[in-house]
Amino acid sequence: MPPKPKISREDMLKGALDLVREQGWDALNARNLASRLGCSTQPIFSHFAAMEDLKAAVFQEAEQLYNTVMWAGLQDSGEDFLGMGMAYIDFARTEPQLFQLLFMSSSMVQGDLAGIAGTTEGDDQVIAFLSSNTGLSLDETQKLYTTLWFAVHGIASLLATNGCKLDEQEARSVLRHTFKGVIYSLKQEREDVH
């Protein structure tokens, strides 16, 4: 029976996630991770059949961290989408490498605008939550979510890539005006149809 690996799968994932946080996705390879963990590359491949498997697990960990932050932002705010939008912006500011991995890399391949926002794990719950709090239908809320995502993503991308300085109050104001404006526009469209 082969010896039990001294580094657990969880420790390896944590080390890999920390490596990506500090140096970016391209730095994640067996040699860099082994160096970080103080071991040879062999223990990595005792837990993961190939680097692609490790990378998939690290990506899932990053996505789970993101989802946790977003849901907490939505729950903590008394202003519907504002808390979640600010959490997204803060995630880009505090986790720029993970943000770039999740939202600015080839891992995010979508064929159309509707596929970009509202397709991440957990988005259905967010859209249902927003729908119940705004009085919009699910289709209208999907449009709201997509439009807001573009505004939030633009701000967050600037923060994650070039250290753009943005006052938190200014970001809140932009998001609040966008949110209210889109809701107003969607309700006007509904009235124009009837």
Give the number of other Cβ atoms within 10 Å of residue 172's Cβ. 16
pLDDT at 149: 87
- Sorted by sequence, the CB contacts under 8 Å of residue 35 that are 6+ apart come out as none
Cα 158 from Cα 101, distance rounded (Å): 15
Task: Assign a CATH topology to domain 1-48.
Answer: Arc Repressor Mutant, subunit A (1.10.10)
Q: What is the pLDDT of residue 70?
A: 82
Whether 100 contacts 167, CB under 8 Å: no
pLDDT at 111: 54
Q: Given this chain, do its domains 1-48 and 63-193 carry the same CATH topology?
A: no
> How high is the pLDDT of residue 164?
77
Could you tell me the residue ranges of all domains in the chain? 1-48, 63-193
User: Quick one: pLDDT at residue 159?
Assistant: 87
Q: Are 148 and 81 in contact (CB under 8 A)?
A: yes
Tell me the average confidence (pLDDT) per consecutive run of 10 residues in the chain, 194 residues long. 74 97 96 95 94 96 91 70 87 94 74 60 78 90 90 91 82 91 92 80
The fold of the 63-193 domain, in CATH, is Tetracycline Repressor; domain 2 (1.10.357)
User: What pLDDT was estimated at residue 3?
Assistant: 58
